[in-house]
Structure 1
Amino acid sequence: MCIPMLSTAASMDFDITASRSPQPAWSAPQEPIDVGGRIAQLRADHGWTLQQAARQTGVAFSTLSKIERHELSPTVTTLTKIAHGMGLTLSQLLESPRPPMGMARRSLSRASETKSTATGACDNAVLCSDLKNRRMTPIRTRVRARDLSAYEEWARYDAEIFLTVLKGTLILHSQNYEPTRLETGDSIYYEASTGHLWTSEGDEDAIVLWVYAE
Protein backbone atom coordinates (compact mmCIF):
# COMPACT_ATOMS: atom_id res chain seq x y z
CA MET A 1 0.00 0.00 0.00
CA CYS A 2 1.26 3.46 -0.74
CA ILE A 3 0.40 7.10 -0.26
CA PRO A 4 1.25 9.53 -3.07
CA MET A 5 2.34 13.12 -3.43
CA LEU A 6 -1.28 13.84 -4.36
CA SER A 7 -0.40 16.44 -6.94
CA THR A 8 -2.13 15.11 -10.06
CA ALA A 9 -5.78 14.73 -11.02
CA ALA A 10 -7.65 11.57 -10.09
CA SER A 11 -9.17 9.21 -12.63
CA MET A 12 -11.70 7.43 -10.40
CA ASP A 13 -14.91 6.19 -12.04
CA PHE A 14 -17.41 6.21 -9.18
CA ASP A 15 -21.15 6.64 -9.77
CA ILE A 16 -22.19 9.53 -7.55
CA THR A 17 -25.98 9.36 -7.24
CA ALA A 18 -26.63 11.16 -3.96
CA SER A 19 -28.13 14.64 -4.23
CA ARG A 20 -25.85 17.48 -3.25
CA SER A 21 -26.76 20.57 -1.30
CA PRO A 22 -25.13 23.90 -2.18
CA GLN A 23 -21.58 24.20 -0.87
CA PRO A 24 -21.29 26.72 2.00
CA ALA A 25 -19.43 29.89 1.09
CA TRP A 26 -16.83 29.24 3.82
CA SER A 27 -15.97 25.73 2.61
CA ALA A 28 -13.02 26.10 0.24
CA PRO A 29 -12.17 23.35 -2.27
CA GLN A 30 -9.72 20.77 -0.99
CA GLU A 31 -6.21 21.47 -2.27
CA PRO A 32 -3.92 18.63 -3.35
CA ILE A 33 -1.26 17.68 -0.83
CA ASP A 34 2.31 18.21 -2.01
CA VAL A 35 3.95 15.57 0.17
CA GLY A 36 7.40 16.17 -1.30
CA GLY A 37 7.19 19.90 -0.63
CA ARG A 38 5.78 19.28 2.85
CA ILE A 39 8.67 16.98 3.78
CA ALA A 40 11.23 19.42 2.37
CA GLN A 41 9.70 22.26 4.40
CA LEU A 42 9.63 20.22 7.61
CA ARG A 43 13.23 19.18 7.06
CA ALA A 44 14.19 22.83 6.59
CA ASP A 45 12.27 23.75 9.76
CA HIS A 46 14.41 21.23 11.66
CA GLY A 47 17.56 22.61 10.06
CA TRP A 48 18.48 19.17 8.72
CA THR A 49 20.42 18.28 5.62
CA LEU A 50 19.17 15.31 3.62
CA GLN A 51 21.87 13.19 5.25
CA GLN A 52 20.73 14.23 8.73
CA ALA A 53 17.09 13.59 7.84
CA ALA A 54 18.02 10.14 6.57
CA ARG A 55 19.67 9.31 9.90
CA GLN A 56 16.73 10.66 11.91
CA THR A 57 14.04 8.87 9.92
CA GLY A 58 15.77 5.67 8.85
CA VAL A 59 14.84 6.41 5.23
CA ALA A 60 17.63 6.32 2.65
CA PHE A 61 19.13 9.62 1.49
CA SER A 62 18.34 8.80 -2.15
CA THR A 63 14.72 7.97 -1.30
CA LEU A 64 14.19 11.24 0.58
CA SER A 65 15.77 13.19 -2.25
CA LYS A 66 13.50 11.59 -4.86
CA ILE A 67 10.39 12.18 -2.73
CA GLU A 68 11.22 15.86 -2.27
CA ARG A 69 11.86 16.23 -6.02
CA HIS A 70 8.53 14.53 -6.80
CA GLU A 71 10.29 11.64 -8.53
CA LEU A 72 9.01 8.96 -6.14
CA SER A 73 5.65 8.38 -4.45
CA PRO A 74 6.35 6.99 -0.95
CA THR A 75 4.56 4.05 0.62
CA VAL A 76 2.65 4.34 3.89
CA THR A 77 5.54 2.56 5.61
CA THR A 78 8.04 5.14 4.33
CA LEU A 79 5.80 8.07 5.22
CA THR A 80 5.29 6.69 8.72
CA LYS A 81 9.07 6.46 9.23
CA ILE A 82 9.50 10.04 8.03
CA ALA A 83 6.67 11.32 10.23
CA HIS A 84 7.93 9.59 13.37
CA GLY A 85 11.51 10.69 12.69
CA MET A 86 10.25 14.28 12.59
CA GLY A 87 8.21 13.85 15.77
CA LEU A 88 4.85 13.76 13.97
CA THR A 89 2.02 11.34 13.36
CA LEU A 90 1.17 10.35 9.80
CA SER A 91 -1.99 12.48 9.98
CA GLN A 92 0.04 15.53 10.99
CA LEU A 93 2.50 14.94 8.15
CA LEU A 94 -0.34 14.82 5.62
CA GLU A 95 -2.20 17.89 6.85
CA SER A 96 -2.85 20.60 4.30
CA PRO A 97 -1.50 24.05 5.25
CA ARG A 98 -4.86 25.62 6.11
CA PRO A 99 -5.88 28.23 8.70
CA PRO A 100 -7.22 26.76 11.98
CA MET A 101 -10.89 25.82 11.89
CA GLY A 102 -13.49 26.45 14.59
CA MET A 103 -14.30 24.08 17.43
CA ALA A 104 -17.22 22.50 15.55
CA ARG A 105 -14.90 20.90 13.03
CA ARG A 106 -15.88 19.47 9.68
CA SER A 107 -14.25 18.83 6.34
CA LEU A 108 -15.79 18.18 2.94
CA SER A 109 -14.16 16.29 0.06
CA ARG A 110 -16.00 16.66 -3.25
CA ALA A 111 -15.54 13.81 -5.72
CA SER A 112 -14.73 16.31 -8.47
CA GLU A 113 -12.04 18.02 -6.37
CA THR A 114 -10.30 15.07 -4.70
CA LYS A 115 -6.80 14.47 -6.07
CA SER A 116 -4.97 11.18 -6.48
CA THR A 117 -1.64 9.85 -7.72
CA ALA A 118 -0.78 6.55 -9.38
CA THR A 119 2.16 4.71 -7.80
CA GLY A 120 2.14 1.49 -9.81
CA ALA A 121 0.64 -0.78 -7.16
CA CYS A 122 -2.22 1.55 -6.28
CA ASP A 123 -3.76 5.01 -6.64
CA ASN A 124 -4.49 6.84 -3.38
CA ALA A 125 -6.48 9.91 -2.44
CA VAL A 126 -6.28 11.27 1.11
CA LEU A 127 -9.74 12.60 2.01
CA CYS A 128 -10.65 15.60 4.18
CA SER A 129 -6.99 16.48 4.58
CA ASP A 130 -7.53 20.05 5.79
CA LEU A 131 -8.35 19.14 9.41
CA LYS A 132 -5.53 19.59 11.91
CA ASN A 133 -4.62 17.03 14.60
CA ARG A 134 -6.82 14.29 13.21
CA ARG A 135 -6.95 10.97 15.04
CA MET A 136 -7.49 9.09 11.81
CA THR A 137 -6.66 9.44 8.12
CA PRO A 138 -9.35 8.41 5.59
CA ILE A 139 -8.00 7.26 2.22
CA ARG A 140 -9.64 6.02 -0.97
CA THR A 141 -7.50 3.58 -2.95
CA ARG A 142 -7.70 1.87 -6.32
CA VAL A 143 -5.61 -1.30 -6.05
CA ARG A 144 -3.89 -1.97 -9.38
CA ALA A 145 -1.53 -4.70 -8.13
CA ARG A 146 -2.41 -8.28 -9.09
CA ASP A 147 0.44 -10.01 -7.24
CA LEU A 148 2.96 -9.23 -4.50
CA SER A 149 5.76 -8.54 -6.99
CA ALA A 150 4.21 -5.08 -7.49
CA TYR A 151 5.51 -4.09 -4.04
CA GLU A 152 9.08 -3.58 -2.85
CA GLU A 153 8.37 -4.44 0.79
CA TRP A 154 5.66 -5.50 3.21
CA ALA A 155 3.67 -2.61 4.67
CA ARG A 156 4.08 -2.48 8.44
CA TYR A 157 3.46 0.39 10.88
CA ASP A 158 2.17 1.12 14.36
CA ALA A 159 -1.47 1.79 13.55
CA GLU A 160 -4.89 0.20 13.18
CA ILE A 161 -6.73 -0.06 9.88
CA PHE A 162 -10.40 -0.34 9.00
CA LEU A 163 -11.32 -0.84 5.37
CA THR A 164 -14.41 -1.57 3.31
CA VAL A 165 -14.44 -2.67 -0.32
CA LEU A 166 -16.41 -0.25 -2.49
CA LYS A 167 -15.93 -2.13 -5.74
CA GLY A 168 -14.31 -5.32 -7.03
CA THR A 169 -12.51 -8.09 -5.14
CA LEU A 170 -9.60 -7.41 -2.76
CA ILE A 171 -7.10 -9.94 -1.43
CA LEU A 172 -5.55 -8.97 1.91
CA HIS A 173 -2.16 -10.67 2.30
CA SER A 174 -0.62 -11.00 5.76
CA GLN A 175 2.62 -12.43 7.10
CA ASN A 176 0.62 -13.96 9.99
CA TYR A 177 -2.55 -15.18 8.27
CA GLU A 178 -3.70 -16.87 5.10
CA PRO A 179 -4.81 -14.44 2.35
CA THR A 180 -8.30 -13.05 2.98
CA ARG A 181 -10.69 -12.53 0.06
CA LEU A 182 -12.99 -9.51 0.39
CA GLU A 183 -15.88 -8.81 -1.99
CA THR A 184 -17.79 -5.58 -2.62
CA GLY A 185 -19.37 -4.47 0.66
CA ASP A 186 -17.07 -6.58 2.87
CA SER A 187 -15.13 -4.88 5.68
CA ILE A 188 -12.18 -5.76 7.90
CA TYR A 189 -10.35 -4.23 10.87
CA TYR A 190 -6.78 -5.22 11.68
CA GLU A 191 -3.54 -4.25 13.39
CA ALA A 192 -1.10 -2.87 10.82
CA SER A 193 2.02 -3.78 12.81
CA THR A 194 1.96 -7.15 11.04
CA GLY A 195 3.31 -7.13 7.49
CA HIS A 196 0.42 -6.84 5.02
CA LEU A 197 -0.30 -5.99 1.37
CA TRP A 198 -3.31 -5.70 -0.94
CA THR A 199 -3.93 -7.08 -4.42
CA SER A 200 -6.97 -7.09 -6.69
CA GLU A 201 -8.46 -10.29 -8.07
CA GLY A 202 -9.90 -10.48 -11.57
CA ASP A 203 -9.93 -7.95 -14.39
CA GLU A 204 -11.47 -5.15 -12.34
CA ASP A 205 -9.37 -3.04 -9.96
CA ALA A 206 -10.63 -3.18 -6.39
CA ILE A 207 -11.53 0.19 -4.90
CA VAL A 208 -11.45 0.49 -1.12
CA LEU A 209 -12.15 3.14 1.48
CA TRP A 210 -9.86 2.72 4.45
CA VAL A 211 -9.09 4.54 7.67
CA TYR A 212 -5.59 4.68 9.18
CA ALA A 213 -5.69 5.37 12.93
CA GLU A 214 -2.53 5.90 14.99
Structure 2
Amino acid sequence: MRDSERAEPGSIAARLAARLGELRTGRGWSLDELSRRSGVSRSTLSRLERGELSPTAALLGTLCTVYGRTMSRLLMEVEAEAPQLVPAARQSVWRDEASGFVRRSVSPPHTGLRAEVVEGTLDAGAAIAYESAPVPGVEQHVWVLEGTVEITVDGAVHTVGSGDCLRFLLHGPSHFRCPGPEQVRYVLVVVLP
Protein backbone atom coordinates (compact mmCIF):
# COMPACT_ATOMS: atom_id res chain seq x y z
CA MET A 1 0.00 0.00 0.00
CA ARG A 2 1.34 3.45 -0.88
CA ASP A 3 1.82 5.96 1.92
CA SER A 4 -1.21 8.08 0.99
CA GLU A 5 -3.60 5.12 0.60
CA ARG A 6 -5.80 3.67 3.31
CA ALA A 7 -6.24 -0.05 3.89
CA GLU A 8 -9.27 -1.52 2.11
CA PRO A 9 -12.17 -1.68 4.63
CA GLY A 10 -12.57 -5.22 5.97
CA SER A 11 -9.13 -6.32 4.74
CA ILE A 12 -6.58 -7.91 7.04
CA ALA A 13 -4.56 -4.67 6.86
CA ALA A 14 -7.59 -2.66 8.01
CA ARG A 15 -8.38 -5.15 10.80
CA LEU A 16 -4.73 -5.08 11.91
CA ALA A 17 -4.78 -1.27 12.01
CA ALA A 18 -7.99 -1.33 14.07
CA ARG A 19 -6.60 -3.98 16.43
CA LEU A 20 -3.43 -1.98 17.06
CA GLY A 21 -5.64 0.99 18.01
CA GLU A 22 -7.76 -1.21 20.30
CA LEU A 23 -4.69 -2.53 22.08
CA ARG A 24 -3.43 0.99 22.77
CA THR A 25 -6.76 2.50 23.85
CA GLY A 26 -7.61 -0.59 25.90
CA ARG A 27 -4.61 0.23 28.06
CA GLY A 28 -5.58 3.88 28.32
CA TRP A 29 -2.44 4.99 26.49
CA SER A 30 -2.15 8.02 24.28
CA LEU A 31 -0.12 7.85 21.07
CA ASP A 32 2.59 9.79 22.93
CA GLU A 33 2.67 7.15 25.69
CA LEU A 34 2.91 4.30 23.18
CA SER A 35 5.65 6.18 21.35
CA ARG A 36 7.59 6.53 24.61
CA ARG A 37 7.20 2.83 25.43
CA SER A 38 8.01 1.53 21.94
CA GLY A 39 10.53 4.01 20.57
CA VAL A 40 8.34 4.38 17.45
CA SER A 41 7.40 7.91 16.40
CA ARG A 42 3.93 9.18 17.22
CA SER A 43 3.24 9.97 13.55
CA THR A 44 4.17 6.43 12.46
CA LEU A 45 1.91 4.94 15.13
CA SER A 46 -0.96 7.21 14.10
CA ARG A 47 -0.57 6.24 10.43
CA LEU A 48 -0.46 2.54 11.39
CA GLU A 49 -3.69 2.80 13.37
CA ARG A 50 -5.42 4.69 10.54
CA GLY A 51 -4.36 2.00 8.06
CA GLU A 52 -2.24 4.43 6.04
CA LEU A 53 1.00 2.53 6.57
CA SER A 54 1.76 -1.19 6.40
CA PRO A 55 3.93 -2.27 9.33
CA THR A 56 7.15 -4.16 8.82
CA ALA A 57 7.77 -7.42 10.70
CA ALA A 58 10.30 -5.60 12.89
CA LEU A 59 7.81 -2.86 13.76
CA LEU A 60 5.09 -5.41 14.53
CA GLY A 61 7.60 -7.31 16.68
CA THR A 62 8.33 -4.14 18.65
CA LEU A 63 4.63 -3.44 19.21
CA CYS A 64 3.94 -7.07 20.17
CA THR A 65 6.64 -6.82 22.85
CA VAL A 66 5.08 -3.62 24.22
CA TYR A 67 1.63 -5.25 24.24
CA GLY A 68 2.90 -8.54 25.74
CA ARG A 69 1.76 -10.88 22.98
CA THR A 70 3.30 -12.99 20.31
CA MET A 71 3.10 -11.93 16.67
CA SER A 72 1.22 -15.12 15.82
CA ARG A 73 -1.43 -14.26 18.42
CA LEU A 74 -1.76 -10.71 17.09
CA LEU A 75 -2.17 -11.97 13.54
CA MET A 76 -4.71 -14.60 14.64
CA GLU A 77 -6.67 -11.81 16.32
CA VAL A 78 -7.22 -10.09 12.98
CA GLU A 79 -8.19 -13.15 10.96
CA ALA A 80 -11.81 -13.77 10.04
CA GLU A 81 -14.34 -14.32 12.83
CA ALA A 82 -13.43 -17.23 15.06
CA PRO A 83 -15.60 -20.28 14.51
CA GLN A 84 -17.48 -21.46 17.56
CA LEU A 85 -16.80 -25.09 16.66
CA VAL A 86 -13.20 -26.18 16.11
CA PRO A 87 -13.43 -29.67 14.56
CA ALA A 88 -10.72 -32.12 15.62
CA ALA A 89 -9.55 -32.41 12.00
CA ARG A 90 -8.84 -28.63 11.91
CA GLN A 91 -6.92 -28.48 15.20
CA SER A 92 -3.27 -27.90 14.42
CA VAL A 93 -0.79 -30.43 15.81
CA TRP A 94 2.90 -29.68 16.31
CA ARG A 95 5.42 -32.39 17.10
CA ASP A 96 8.88 -31.98 18.56
CA GLU A 97 10.33 -35.41 17.83
CA ALA A 98 13.61 -34.55 19.58
CA SER A 99 11.94 -33.92 22.94
CA GLY A 100 9.00 -36.32 22.62
CA PHE A 101 6.44 -33.52 22.92
CA VAL A 102 3.19 -33.26 20.93
CA ARG A 103 1.00 -30.13 21.14
CA ARG A 104 -2.57 -30.00 19.78
CA SER A 105 -4.21 -26.56 19.65
CA VAL A 106 -7.74 -27.60 20.68
CA SER A 107 -9.08 -24.04 21.01
CA PRO A 108 -6.57 -21.63 19.44
CA PRO A 109 -6.24 -17.98 20.50
CA HIS A 110 -8.46 -15.46 18.73
CA THR A 111 -9.76 -11.89 18.99
CA GLY A 112 -12.04 -11.31 21.92
CA LEU A 113 -11.12 -14.63 23.54
CA ARG A 114 -8.64 -14.53 26.42
CA ALA A 115 -8.21 -18.28 26.84
CA GLU A 116 -6.85 -21.07 24.70
CA VAL A 117 -6.93 -24.82 25.28
CA VAL A 118 -4.00 -27.09 24.40
CA GLU A 119 -3.64 -30.87 24.65
CA GLY A 120 -0.09 -31.94 25.37
CA THR A 121 1.62 -35.32 25.47
CA LEU A 122 5.13 -36.01 26.68
CA ASP A 123 6.89 -39.34 26.24
CA ALA A 124 8.27 -41.08 29.34
CA GLY A 125 11.55 -39.41 30.29
CA ALA A 126 10.88 -36.37 28.07
CA ALA A 127 11.20 -32.83 29.36
CA ILE A 128 10.52 -29.35 28.02
CA ALA A 129 11.71 -26.09 29.56
CA TYR A 130 10.51 -22.54 28.98
CA GLU A 131 12.93 -19.76 29.91
CA SER A 132 10.22 -17.22 30.66
CA ALA A 133 6.49 -16.62 30.56
CA PRO A 134 5.24 -15.64 27.08
CA VAL A 135 3.21 -12.94 28.83
CA PRO A 136 4.11 -12.20 32.48
CA GLY A 137 1.24 -13.12 34.79
CA VAL A 138 -0.40 -15.49 32.32
CA GLU A 139 -2.79 -17.87 34.10
CA GLN A 140 -2.31 -21.59 33.43
CA HIS A 141 -4.29 -24.67 34.47
CA VAL A 142 -2.79 -28.12 33.81
CA TRP A 143 -5.26 -31.02 34.08
CA VAL A 144 -3.65 -34.44 33.69
CA LEU A 145 -5.78 -36.94 31.78
CA GLU A 146 -3.36 -39.91 31.82
CA GLY A 147 0.02 -40.49 33.41
CA THR A 148 2.11 -38.19 35.59
CA VAL A 149 4.00 -34.96 34.94
CA GLU A 150 6.39 -33.01 37.13
CA ILE A 151 5.94 -29.27 36.67
CA THR A 152 8.41 -26.77 38.10
CA VAL A 153 7.08 -23.23 38.62
CA ASP A 154 8.79 -20.55 40.72
CA GLY A 155 11.37 -23.15 41.81
CA ALA A 156 8.73 -25.50 43.28
CA VAL A 157 8.30 -28.98 41.79
CA HIS A 158 4.73 -30.28 41.62
CA THR A 159 3.94 -33.93 40.82
CA VAL A 160 0.61 -33.92 39.01
CA GLY A 161 -1.07 -37.31 38.48
CA SER A 162 -4.05 -38.53 36.50
CA GLY A 163 -7.14 -36.45 37.37
CA ASP A 164 -5.12 -33.79 39.24
CA CYS A 165 -5.05 -30.13 38.22
CA LEU A 166 -2.26 -27.63 38.90
CA ARG A 167 -3.09 -23.93 38.46
CA PHE A 168 -0.79 -20.94 38.70
CA LEU A 169 0.14 -17.49 37.44
CA LEU A 170 3.36 -17.70 35.45
CA HIS A 171 5.93 -14.92 35.77
CA GLY A 172 9.19 -16.73 35.07
CA PRO A 173 10.57 -20.03 33.82
CA SER A 174 8.68 -23.32 33.89
CA HIS A 175 9.67 -26.93 33.30
CA PHE A 176 7.57 -29.99 32.38
CA ARG A 177 9.00 -33.52 32.78
CA CYS A 178 7.33 -36.90 32.37
CA PRO A 179 8.91 -39.30 34.89
CA GLY A 180 7.18 -42.31 33.27
CA PRO A 181 6.88 -45.21 33.06
CA GLU A 182 4.19 -44.27 30.49
CA GLN A 183 3.67 -41.01 28.59
CA VAL A 184 1.58 -38.22 30.09
CA ARG A 185 -1.41 -36.62 28.35
CA TYR A 186 -2.76 -33.37 29.76
CA VAL A 187 -4.93 -30.37 29.01
CA LEU A 188 -3.37 -26.92 29.37
CA VAL A 189 -5.72 -23.94 29.66
CA VAL A 190 -3.95 -20.61 29.10
CA VAL A 191 -5.73 -17.39 30.12
CA LEU A 192 -4.19 -14.03 29.27
CA PRO A 193 -4.13 -11.42 32.03
Residues 54-203 of structure 1 mapped to structure 2, 5 A cutoff = 56=62, 84-85=64-65, 87=67, 89-90=69-70, 92-93=73-74, 95=76, 98-100=79-81, 107-119=84-96, 120-121=98-99, 122-129=101-108, 131-144=110-123, 146=125, 151=129, 153-156=130-133, 157-158=135-136, 159-177=138-156, 179-203=157-181
**Cα 1:47/1:206, change in 2 over 3 Å:** same
**Cα 1:146/1:202, change in 2 over 3 Å:** same
Runs of 4+ with deviation above 6 angstroms: none
Identity of aligned residues (%): 13
Residues in 1 aligned to 2:89 and 2:111: alpha-carbon distance in whole angstroms: 23
CA drift of 1:186 comes to 0.4
SS in structure 1 of the partner of residue 88 of structure 2: coil
Q: Could you list the per-position Cα deviations for residues 27-67 of structure 1 after superposition, in whole angstroms to 9, with x for gaps in the alignment?
A: xxxxxxxxxxxxxxxxx942245xx777x3xxxxxxxxxxx
Residue of structure 2 equivalent to 1:47? 56
Residues in 2 aligned to 1:88 and 1:194: alpha-carbon distance in whole angstroms: 14
Q: Could you list the per-position Cα deviations for residues 140-177 of structure 1 after superposition, in whole angstroms to 9, with x for gaps in the alignment?
A: 111237365x54x5343411111100111111123431
SS in structure 2 of the partner of residue 127 of structure 1: strand
SS in structure 2 of the partner of residue 109 of structure 1: coil
CA drift of 1:94 comes to 6.6
Contact 1:164 1:187 in 2 (8 A): yes
Residues in 2 aligned to 1:181 and 1:53: alpha-carbon distance in whole angstroms: 39
Aligned pair count reads: 135
**Cα 1:155/1:138, change in 2 over 3 Å:** same
Contact 2:73 2:109 in 1 (8 A): no
TM-score by length of 2: 0.56
CA drift of 1:193 comes to 0.6
The unaligned stretches of length 5 or more in structure 1 are 1-43, 57-82
Higher relative contact order (CA 8 A, sep 6+): 1
